[in-house]
């Protein structure tokens, strides 16, 4: 059970994230904490993290956004959900706040993008259908194996529910990509596992995916390693190396650069075989690429990415 607490916001909502790939965009979190409880999630290290199995819902988010959009002389071109939570947590209050906030954003002519490991329900799909070209979705999924996802992302949606959500979004005309992150070396990044996932994603209409590897932050590395060890008893991080993210935005230990390079090359090759362009995040892998993962929508066509793939763009982002 997740404890749901309520709070009213007092400070502005539409502020940029500190994450390098989101620095140009206002981001919104409708909760503090996240009920999905992913064992690797970096928000566990935040000073205001409410604790496991507890979330704080910002119940006046929609009102704040409405007021802020009205006051702004220049509206943002688009807004990102959610840099440190998930807008589609399976909790009625979270979904209500997310829905009303998204409705106001779209009605103001502002585009929105989101990343989710949850279920995007009927009313959201119906809302997005009313605003063609204004919504961009990323569905987070690293494997088709429910046992693996349950161990690592205990309260997020099942494999079938995430795939069904992605398909419904695509069918509704929402530009939808996959986020295959964080991959666990020798567990979810094997050729067999990665190929099965790509094949299923392609079947439902996904044509682009961002991939990245797990990194471990010291504060909760033990918890993450223990969860992985239940699936992969010989999981070993002894030769992992310290990796600093772009712009000094944190970091942790992860596979060394040469090993990542080798594996990313294999992913790109598998992506080509399955008709899915693989993007690699340059924020997490500055020693490997300056490419973008498209977390908040596809990067502009004139920006080069290591993967060399370009998707159709939001009209005003070219």
Query: For residues 36 and 64, which CB has a smaller minimum distance to ligand SF4 in the complex?
Result: 36
Whole-number minimum distance, CB 116 to ligand SF4, in Å? 7
Enumerate residues 227-286 that contact ligand SF4 by CB under 6 A.
none
SS (H, E, C) the chain: CCEEEEECCCCCCCEECCCHHHCCCEEECCEECCCCCCCCCHHHHCCCCCCCCEEEEECCHHHHHHHHHHHCCCCCCEEEECCCCCCCCCCHHHHHHHHHHHHHHHHCCCEEEEEECCCCCHHHHHHHHCCCCCEEEEEECCCCCHHHHHHHCCCCCCHHHHHHHHHHHHHCCCEEEEEEEEECCCCCCCHHHHHHHHHHHHHHCCCEEEEEECCECHHHHHHHHHHHHCCCCCCCCCCCEEEECHHHCCEEEECCHHHHHHHHHHHHHHHHHHCCEEEECCCCCCCCCCCCCCECECCCCCCCCCCCCCCCCCHHHC
Binding part of the chain for ligand SF4, among 29-37, 157-165, 188-196, 270-278 by CB under 6 A, reads: 29-37
Q: Which of 13, 28, 36, 168 binds ligand SF4 (CB under 6 A)?
A: 36
Enumerate residues 79-98 that contact ligand SF4 by CB under 6 A.
84-86
Query: For residues 162 and 268, which CB has a smaller minimum distance to ligand SF4 in the complex?
Result: 162
Whole-number minimum distance, CB 167 to ligand SF4, in Å? 20
Query: For residues 87 and 187, which CB has a smaller minimum distance to ligand SF4 in the complex?
Result: 87
Q: Which of 2, 16, 22, 43 binds ligand SF4 (CB under 6 A)?
A: 43
Whole-number minimum distance, CB 179 to ligand SF4, in Å? 10
Residues in contact with ligand SF4 by CB under 6 A are 34, 36-38, 41, 43, 84-86, 117, 153, 156
């Amino acid at each position: 059970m997740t404890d749901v607490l309520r709070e009213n916001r007092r400070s502005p909502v539409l502020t940029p994230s500190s994450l390098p790939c989101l620095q140009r965009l206002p981001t919104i979190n409708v909760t503090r904490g996240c009920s999905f409880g992913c064992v690797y999630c970096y928000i566990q290290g935040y000073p205001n993290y409410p604790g496991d199995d507890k979330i704080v819902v910002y119940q006046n988010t929609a009102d704040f956004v409405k007021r802020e959009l009205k006051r702004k002389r220049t509206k943002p071109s688009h807004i990102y959900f959610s840099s440190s939570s998930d807008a589609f947590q399976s909790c009625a209050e979270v979904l209500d706040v997310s829905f009303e906030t998204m409705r106001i954003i779209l009605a103001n002519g502002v585009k929105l993008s989101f990343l989710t490991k949850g279920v995007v329900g009927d009313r959201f799909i119906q809302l997005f259908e009313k605003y063609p070209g204004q919504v961009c979705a990323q569905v987070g999924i690293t494997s088709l194996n429910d046992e693996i996802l349950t161990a690592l992302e205990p309260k997020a949606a099942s494999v079938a529910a995430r795939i069904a959500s992605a398909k419904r979004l695509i069918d509704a005309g929402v530009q939808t990509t996959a986020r295959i992150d964080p991959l666990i070396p020798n567990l979810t990044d094997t050729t067999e596992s990665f190929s099965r996932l790509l094949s299923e994603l392609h079947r439902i209409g996904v044509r682009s995916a961002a991939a990245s590897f797990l990194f471990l932050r010291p504060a909760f590395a033990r918890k993450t390693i223990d969860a992985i060890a239940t699936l992969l008893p010989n999981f070993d991080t002894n030769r992992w190396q310290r990796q600093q993210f772009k712009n000094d935005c944190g970091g942790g230990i992860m596979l060394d650069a040469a090993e990542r390079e080798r594996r990313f090359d294999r992913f790109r090759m598998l992506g080509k075989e399955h008709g899915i362009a693989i993007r690699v995040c340059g924020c997490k892998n500055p020693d490997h690429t300056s490419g973008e993962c498209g977390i908040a929508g596809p990067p502009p066509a004139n920006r080069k990415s290591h993967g060399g793939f370009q998707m159709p763009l939001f009209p005003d982002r070219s």
